[in-house]
Structure 1
Amino acid sequence: MLSSRDEAQQAALEYLQSAYHGESYTFVLPAELTEEFSKFWTVGFDTREHLDTGDITKAPLVRVLVVPKDGSTPHFPHTALPLAEYVAQLEAGQ
Structure 2
Amino acid sequence: MMSVSRMEAHASARRFLGQTFSGGSGWTVVMQPELSFEHDFAWCVRFDSQEHLDTGNRALAPFTRVVVVPKNGEAPHFPPTHLPVAAYLDQLAAGD
- TM-score range, shorter-chain basis? 0.7 to 0.9
* Greater mean deviation of Cα atoms: 32-41 or 58-67: 32-41
| 1:48/1:80 CA distance change after superposition, 3 Å | same
Partner of 1:46: 48
Distance (Å, rounded) in 2 between the aligned partners of 1:75 and 1:81? 14
SS at match of 1:81: coil
CA contact (8 A) 1:37 1:91 kept: no
**What code does the residue aligned with 1:52 have?**
D
TM-score by length of 2: 0.83
Asked if residue 89 in structure 1 is aligned to residue 91 in structure 2, the reply is yes
TM-score by length of 1: 0.85
Q: Percent identity?
A: 48
**What code does the residue aligned with 1:18 have?**
Q
Deviation at 1:77, TM superposition (A): 0.8
SS at match of 2:27: coil
Root-mean-square deviation (CA, aligned residues, Å) is: 1.7
**Aligned residue pairs: how many?**
94
